[in-house]
């Protein structure tokens, strides 16, 4: 007989949600972690980043109101900001472990690897379960170029004692945009280098271009269509070069060219679990090629290409807790999922993109709204606020939106509810929202 009903491998947001969900339904469950309890998001991802970003928001809001009632701009004190971040992150691993212990979820610390016959090796122990959930997440990709040993990663950035005077990010995905925004607000010189001229490719490119213009105006330098081939150390600095005539000297170089799934050295070949480039291959019930092994969160190559984000991993954890305790046998059904890049301004998206909407005028209407002079934005002195809303032509419900403003995250969250509930303008108008707020603007977006 197996030691557990379910063993979860990886104690990030997805694995933890699965473990607590299974426990609540009476399953005997254990969880394995080889690094920091709590995983990427609270230790080296979303939460520490958002703490550092708080200073950016404060500075930005004060800049908006310069000459409109405020004088004197606040400045970032990096060591104090980092201490604020560490006050939070230092408690995460212990707090997470204590929570699991007091809930009576068994914990194993060490690297997990599948052996033949569906057994799991953790350090020098072997444990067994009827079912397993792989929730091992991703790690930063390091570009395989000459001098790659000089690269630092987002994990290093989020724990820097001192911020270097000049910082270079190679790869213009959401991590680069966010960390560059923080670096710039803290007063350092920033470069983002990208191999093509199509950064943040999941987002509406007209809004991305506007975002790039805004970031350039703040002093962030973008070098597009540059394919970096080498990093050389030069005293305390680094020289990054392509194979043509691009050369840049910088104090620190970060690889922000994507993230790769943690699938190696898990012994997946021993248990017949197949993988794709984006991670573990699963079906619509998150089941792998092995009938007793499931996968969730960032490590999964999702059938529908849903974004790799914390709330998606937790959603899948709750889904699998129901599935594995026979509460439901239905395939996973995701709601429409929002995605935000915390730059200045923020850019956010959900649902059908304006490009798809414009390309299919029989089915969709795309509304381009400049919100800059709307009361919510005028009030704070915001210089630029835009949104592109996609409406279903027949039902006149909102099916997609992208936004660029300091409150794009709030707006997109309200629209998440409107979209997922398929609310019409009349239904939205039945709500009474506090006024004047981003929520009370909603009826004017239809």
Ligand X SMILES: Cc1cc2nc3c(=O)[nH]c(=O)nc-3n(C[C@H](O)[C@H](O)[C@H](O)COP(=O)(O)OP(=O)(O)OC[C@H]3O[C@@H](n4cnc5c(N)ncnc54)[C@H](O)[C@@H]3O)c2cc1C
Residues of the shown chain interacting with ligand X in the complex, contacts defined by CB under 6 A: 9-15, 32-36, 39-41, 45-46, 49, 111-112, 135-138, 154, 175, 262, 266, 297-298, 308-311, 313
CB of 267 to ligand X, least distance (A): 9
As a whole number of angstroms, the distance between CA 322 and CA 12 comes to: 19
**Residue 78 vs 315, nearer CB to ligand X:** 315
Q: Given the complex with ligand X, which of 105 and 135 has the nearer CB atom?
A: 135
- Are 254 and 156 in contact by the 8 Å Cβ rule? The answer is yes
**Cis peptide upstream of residue 436 (ω within 30 degrees of 0):** yes
Least Å distance, CB 196 to ligand X, is 22
- Contact call for residues 252 and 164 (beta carbons, < 8 A): yes
How far is the CA of 139 from the CAs of 10, 40, 150, 231, 362, in angstroms?
13, 9, 17, 21, 42
Q: At closest approach, how far in Å is the CB of 287 from ligand X?
A: 17
Q: Would you say 407 or 442 has its CB closer to ligand X?
A: 407
Nearer to ligand X, 99 or 381 (CB): 99
Q: How far is the CB of 286 from ligand X (least distance, A)?
A: 12
- The per-residue b/e assignment along 142-158, b for 16 or more CB within 10 angstroms, e otherwise, is ebebebeebbbbbeebb
Tokens representing residue 408 in the block: 């794009």
Nearest to ligand X of 309, 403 (CB atom): 309
Residue 292's SS3 state is coil
Q: At which residue do the structure tokens 């970096």 appear?
A: 228
Q: Whose Cβ is closer to ligand X: residue 308's or residue 386's?
A: 308
CB of 395 to ligand X, least distance (A): 29
Nearer to ligand X among residue 111 and residue 367 (C-beta): 111
Indicate the residue among 21 and 45 with the shorter CB distance to ligand X: 45
Alpha helix (H) residue ranges in 104-239: 154-157, 174-185, 205-217
Angle of helix 205-217 versus helix 174-185 axis, rounded to 10: 20
The whole-angstrom separation of Cα 252 and Cα 183 is 12
- In whole angstroms, how close is the CB of 304 to ligand X at the nearest point? 16
Question: Is the preceding peptide bond at 345 cis, omega within 30 degrees of 0?
Answer: yes
Nearer to ligand X, 211 or 428 (CB): 211
CB of 120 to ligand X, least distance (A): 9
- Among left, alpha and beta (phi > 0; psi -120 to 50; other), residue 136 is alpha
Cβ neighbours, 10 Å, residue 281: 17
- Least separation in angstroms between residue 208's CB and ligand X is 18
Cα separation, 237 vs 363, in Å, equals 54
Nearer to ligand X, 39 or 171 (CB): 39
Q: What minimum distance in Å lies between the beta carbon of 157 and ligand X?
A: 8
Distance of closest approach, residue 435 Cβ to ligand X, in angstroms: 29
What lies within 8 Å, CB to CB, of 96 at 6+ separation is: 11, 16, 37, 38, 42
Q: Tell me how far apart the alpha carbons of residues 78 and 185 are, in angstroms, rounded to a whole number.
A: 10
Nearer to ligand X, 15 or 357 (CB): 15
Q: What is the DSSP letter of 150?
A: G
Instruction: Assign 3-state DSSP to the chain and report helix, strand, coil percentages, each to 5.
Output: 35, 25, 40
CB of residue 118 to ligand X, shortest distance in Å: 16
CA dist 99 and 443 (Å) reads: 43
């Amino acid at each position: 007989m197996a030691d557990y009903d379910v063993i979860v491998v990886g104690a990030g947001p997805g694995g933890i949600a699965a473990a607590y969900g299974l426990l609540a339904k009476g399953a005997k469950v254990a969880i394995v972690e080889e690094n920091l309890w709590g995983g990427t998001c609270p230790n080296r991802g979303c939460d520490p980043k958002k703490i550092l970003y708080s200073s950016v928001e404060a500075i930005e809001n004060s800049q908006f109101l310069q000459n409109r009632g405020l004088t004197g701009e606040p400045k970032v004190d990096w060591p104090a900001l980092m201490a604020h971040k560490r006050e939070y992150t230092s408690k995460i691993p212990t707090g997470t472990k204590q929570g699991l212990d007091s809930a009576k979820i068994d914990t194993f610390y060490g690297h997990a690897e599948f052996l033949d016959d569906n057994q799991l090796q953790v350090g020098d122990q072997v444990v067994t379960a009827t079912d397993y959930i792989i929730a091992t997440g991703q790690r930063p990709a390091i570009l395989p170029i000459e001098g790659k040993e000089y690269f630092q990663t987002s994990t290093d950035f989020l724990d820097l004692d001192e911020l270097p005077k000049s910082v270079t990010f190679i790869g213009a995905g959401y991590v680069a945009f966010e960390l560059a925004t923080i670096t710039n607000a803290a007063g350092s010189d920033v470069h983002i280098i990208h191999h093509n001229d199509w950064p943040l490719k999941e987002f509406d490119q007209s809004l991305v271009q506007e975002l790039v213009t805004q970031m350039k105006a703040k002093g962030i330098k973008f070098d597009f269509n540059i394919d970096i081939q080498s990093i050389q150390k030069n005293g305390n600095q680094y020289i990054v070069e392509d194979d043509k005539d691009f050369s840049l000297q910088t104090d620190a170089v970060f690889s922000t060219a994507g993230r790769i799934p943690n699938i190696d050295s898990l012994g997946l070949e021993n248990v017949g679990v197949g993988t794709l480039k984006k991670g573990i291959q699963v079906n619509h019930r998150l089941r792998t090629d092995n009938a007793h092994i499931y996968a969730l969160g960032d490590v999964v190559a999702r059938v529908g290409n849903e974004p790799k984000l914390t709330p998606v991993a937790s959603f899948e954890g709750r889904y699998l807790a129901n599935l594995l305790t026979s509460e439901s046998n239905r395939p996973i059904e995701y709601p429409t999922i929002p995605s935000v890049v915390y730059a200045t301004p923020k850019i956010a998206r959900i649902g059908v993109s304006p490009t798809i909407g414009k390309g299919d005028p029989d089915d969709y209407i795309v509304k381009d709204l400049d919100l800059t002079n709307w009361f919510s934005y005028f009030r704070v002195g915001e210089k630029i606020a835009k949104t592109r809303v996609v409406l279903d032509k027949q039902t006149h419900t909102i099916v997609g939106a992208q936004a660029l403003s300091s409150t794009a995250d709030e707006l997109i969250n309200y629209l998440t509810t409107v979209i997922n509930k398929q609310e019409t303008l009349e239904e939205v108008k039945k709500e009474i929202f506090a006024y004047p707020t981003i929520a009370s603007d909603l009826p004017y977006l239809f």
